[in-house]
Amino acid sequence: MSGPSDFQPTNPALKWIERRLPIMGLMHSSFVAYPTPRNLNYFWTFGAILSMMLGVQILTGVILAMHYTPHADLAFKSVELIVRDVNYGWLLRNIHACGASMFFFAVYIHMFRGLYYGSYKEPREVLWILGVIIYLLMMATGFMGYVLPWGQMSFWGATVITNLFSAVPYFGESIVTLLWGGYSVGNPTLNRFFSLHFLLPFVIAGVVVLHVWALHVAGQNNPAGVEPKTAKDTVPFTPYATMKDAFGVSCFLLFFAWFIFYMPNYLGDPENYIPANPAVTPAHIVPEWYYLPFYAILRSIPNKLAGVVAMFGAIVVLAFLPWLDSAKTRSSKYRPLAKQFFWMFVVVCIGLGYLGAQPPEGIYVIVGRILTFLYFAYFLILLPVLSRIEKPRPVPNSIADDVLAKSGGKAATMVSSVIALMVAGGLLLGGAESARAAEGGPKPPGEKWSFAGPFGKFDRGALQRGLKVYKEVCASCHGLSFVAFRNLAEPGGPGYSVAQAAAFASEYKVKDGPNDAGDMFERPGRPADYFPSPFPNEQAARAANGGAYPPDLSLINKARSYGRGFPMFLIDFFTQYQEQGPDYVAALLQGYEDNAPAGFTLPEGSYYNKYFPGHAIKMPKPLSDGQVTYDDGSPATVAQYAKDVTTFLMWTAEPHMEARKALGLQVFVFLILLTILLYFTKKKVWANAH
């Protein structure tokens, strides 16, 4: 983009266009001939990864918007129906939801890379500030997107974050009302968040164009932190950077696919599988993992306004970095002190992320304050001082010299730092996990599930038995509002025929109407009907159950979770363990004890259950031996009933699980093949450069 293009098309038609709109010349000089420093490491591929992720998020987002309904009464259901009914809806939703996390994961590496190698220094200040603006826009977009499914965490997250603005002196309350478009978070809020969530990515794309433009004017920074001097210092963007980026993107896609196909809910909060309820606040309101450090800073300051200012300040301070750090040496590679402090800063950020997920009490508050201080001290005290007192090591004369001086040890450092980053990311996630653990009580025992693991499938027998248990026991209080009778005949389900599903449906009475006379009436169920709830509404359900509301069971296995403790979440990531919900539900069904232990006072109308939080549950023991007759000779015991009905509920929570795992296997085989091919192609291409 710097200087006139030397691109000369030969085709007359292209010549005609180029004379009038030199777009091909622009593309050529930006992405083909553009000189790239030849010593870039793989941290530089995150720029390409981010461009791809922005594209992926916009594409899947536009598609999801075709199926989504931005209305407080319909949003939750529309998201569930995208996953259940839309062709490949589950895939698109997983890509978009996990994609948000991947986007932030990549942007953090991109930012830390810029920090480490001094990418914000002269002449790249504007480039850096544009990056900070993009990051702010990403945060706003990510937050508003998280609100759209209108689950419990969405609703309460929106309430908490918009209330931040009430800290503004004098105008605070008016600003919050303005943001809500009502007296509380409600339908107008959801509607405008949807509109803005659709708009902002295009604004981001616009700023990204400026970001790339500024990059191409100033040229890329590089690990040595010296500017290219001669032609020997650079290689043309295509094919060198293109192939390297393609390989990097392919590796990243493998990581991404792990989440999409095998851990789709690992990064989300189970609470968001419960529809928004303005009358009940979740025990812990935790933002998504990528906001946790800032959330920790917010909570560390014991003053509302100061906390909000500190939180926003933590991001805004980044924009002043070019002037806070006045060291002449760019890359921390040659700054022995700055290098060490950089890694300490990384640890501080991860520590803040961990604290953001902990309850704000006791030692966490104190450590949070210390880390908040250290966070700001790094920018406001350390870097300005360091840039004056530090004596950097000599930098190489040129990029070519840097490349020649490289030893084989480089790859090892790269790998270890990437692993360190991944472990650190895991820590952050684990922190988010443990925020839900505070309820206490014994951990439910891990059951063996046929559907666990990458090759897991539903046990058809268990699904059919579970359906029977549901119908004869659970259905007297609980509905399955997201499961239709037709689902029973769909692939991946209990394996009934269409006629069997229709016959099953006709045993139910479904309320319909109004008819020509204006009356509601009851008719036999049809395959297209959803499993009805036994109660007309929540109030009637509460009245019939001593004030307790029997939740809808369609999503219960996803809406329940329990903490897994420190190293487990890392193991969970690698073993793809995501059966906390089923383990919990099965344990709850079997956790009843006739007599509460000595010293425990059971509230009136409650029953003792060792796995229920607080141990006092309003639901009486639902299952007892011999209650349901099995035709296939399975033991008629509580343990068997619990296991079968939980398997069935797992299917109701995710009817496309088998399709997800099967497609995941194919995608993995493909991506591994592509990555290997790209690796060798990249090697061959780069062989020419040495």
Q: How near is the Cβ of 63 to other proteins at its closest, in Å?
A: 6
Which residues in 590-672 belong to E strands, given as ranges? 607-608, 616-617
**3-class SS of residue 95:** helix
Q: Show contacts with other proteins in window 232-251 (CB under 8 A).
A: 239, 246
Asked whether position 506 contacts other proteins by CB under 8 A, the answer is: no
Q: How near is the Cβ of 528 to other proteins at its closest, in Å?
A: 4
In 10 A of CB 218, how many CB atoms? 17
Q: Which is nearer to other proteins, 397 or 500 (CB)?
A: 500
Q: Which is nearer to other proteins, 506 or 627 (CB)?
A: 506
Q: How near is the Cβ of 224 to other proteins at its closest, in Å?
A: 23
Q: Contacting other proteins (CB under 8 A), which of 75, 91, 115, 638?
A: 91
Q: How near is the Cβ of 50 to other proteins at its closest, in Å?
A: 19
Q: Which is nearer to other proteins, 415 or 672 (CB)?
A: 672
Asked whether position 337 contacts other proteins by CB under 8 A, the answer is: no
Q: What is the 3-state secondary structure (H, E, C) of 369-438?
A: HHHHHHHHHHHHHHHHHHHHHCCCCCCCCCHHHHHHHCCCHHHHHHHHHHHHHHHHHHHHHHHHHHCCHH
Q: How near is the Cβ of 372 to other proteins at its closest, in Å?
A: 43
How many degrees, rounded to 5, is the angle at CA 235 between CA 418 and CA 242? Answer: 55
| Distance between CA atoms of residues 637 and 430, nearest Å | 36
**3-class SS of residue 33:** coil
Asked whether position 255 contacts other proteins by CB under 8 A, the answer is: no
**Binding window for other proteins (CB under 8 A); candidates: 213-221, 456-464, 520-528, 623-631:** 520-528
Q: Contacting other proteins (CB under 8 A), which of 81, 168, 422, 596?
A: 81
- In terms of C-beta density within 10 A (0-12 exposed, 13-18 middle, 19 or more buried), how is residue 38 classed? buried
Q: How far apart are the first and last CA of the chain?
A: 26
Q: How near is the Cβ of 236 to other proteins at its closest, in Å?
A: 9
Q: DSSP state, 631? A: S
User: CA dist 369 to 298, 315, 317, 586, Å?
Assistant: 10, 17, 18, 41
Are 543 and 470 in contact, with CB atoms under 8 Å apart? Answer: no
Q: Contacting other proteins (CB under 8 A), which of 47, 61, 70, 89?
A: 89
Asked whether position 196 contacts other proteins by CB under 8 A, the answer is: no
- DSSP bridge pairs for 530: 484
Q: Which is nearer to other proteins, 240 or 378 (CB)?
A: 240
| Distance between CA atoms of residues 520 and 511, nearest Å | 7
**Binding window for other proteins (CB under 8 A); candidates: 27-35, 80-88, 192-200, 377-385:** 80-88
Asked whether position 528 contacts other proteins by CB under 8 A, the answer is: yes
Q: Which is nearer to other proteins, 139 or 674 (CB)?
A: 674
Structure tokens at 205: 């794309």
- For 666-684, give the DSSP string: HHHHHHHHHHHHHHHHHHH
Q: Contacting other proteins (CB under 8 A), which of 484, 525, 546, 608?
A: 484
Structure tokens at 75: 């949003």
Q: Which is nearer to other proteins, 257 or 452 (CB)?
A: 257
- DSSP bridge pairs for 625: none
Asked whether position 684 contacts other proteins by CB under 8 A, the answer is: yes
Residue 73, amino acid: D
Asked whether position 210 contacts other proteins by CB under 8 A, the answer is: no
For residue 129, how far is the Cα from the chain centroid? 26
Q: Which is nearer to other proteins, 149 or 356 (CB)?
A: 149
- DSSP bridge pairs for 512: 521
Q: How near is the Cβ of 517 to other proteins at its closest, in Å?
A: 13
Q: Contacting other proteins (CB under 8 A), which of 88, 213, 255, 320?
A: 88
Q: How near is the Cβ of 60 to other proteins at its closest, in Å?
A: 8
| Distance between CA atoms of residues 581 and 611, nearest Å | 12
Q: Which is nearer to other proteins, 71 or 610 (CB)?
A: 71
Q: Which is nearer to other proteins, 457 or 684 (CB)?
A: 684
| Distance between CA atoms of residues 629 and 634, nearest Å | 9
Q: Contacting other proteins (CB under 8 A), which of 366, 412, 414, 677?
A: 677
Reported for 72-80, long-range contacts at CB under 8 A and 24+ positions apart, including other chains, are: 72/150, 72/186, 72/187, 72/190, 72/276, 73/187, 75/148, 75/149, 75/150, 75/190, 76/149, 76/150, 76/151, 76/275, 76/276, 77/481, 77/482, 79/148, 79/149, 79/150, 80/482, 80/554, 80/555
Q: Show contacts with other proteins in window 657-676 (CB under 8 A).
A: 670-671, 673-674
**3-class SS of residue 518:** coil
Q: Contacting other proteins (CB under 8 A), which of 369, 526, 618, 621?
A: 526
Q: Show contacts with other proteins in window 38-67 (CB under 8 A).
A: 59, 63, 66-67
Q: Which is nearer to other proteins, 85 or 390 (CB)?
A: 85
Bridging pattern class, strands 509-512 and 521-524? antiparallel
**Binding window for other proteins (CB under 8 A); candidates: 40-48, 84-92, 120-128, 199-207:** 84-92
List alpha helices for 181-223, DSSP H: 187-218
**Binding window for other proteins (CB under 8 A); candidates: 87-95, 134-142, 217-225, 287-295:** 87-95
Q: Which is nearer to other proteins, 40 or 224 (CB)?
A: 40
Q: Contacting other proteins (CB under 8 A), which of 28, 84, 244, 333?
A: 84
Q: What is the 3-state secondary structure (H, E, C) of 554-569?
A: CCHHHHCCCCCCCCHH
Q: Which is nearer to other proteins, 427 or 674 (CB)?
A: 674
Q: Which is nearer to other proteins, 401 or 490 (CB)?
A: 490
Spatial neighbors of 42 by CB under 8 A, at least 6 apart, are 244, 248, 414, 418
Q: Which is nearer to other proteins, 78 or 162 (CB)?
A: 78
Q: How near is the Cβ of 234 to other proteins at its closest, in Å?
A: 14
Q: Which residues bind other proteins (CB under 8 A)?
A: 59, 63, 66-67, 81, 84-89, 91-92, 239, 246, 484, 486, 490, 526-528, 670-671, 673-674, 677-678, 680-681, 684-685, 688-689
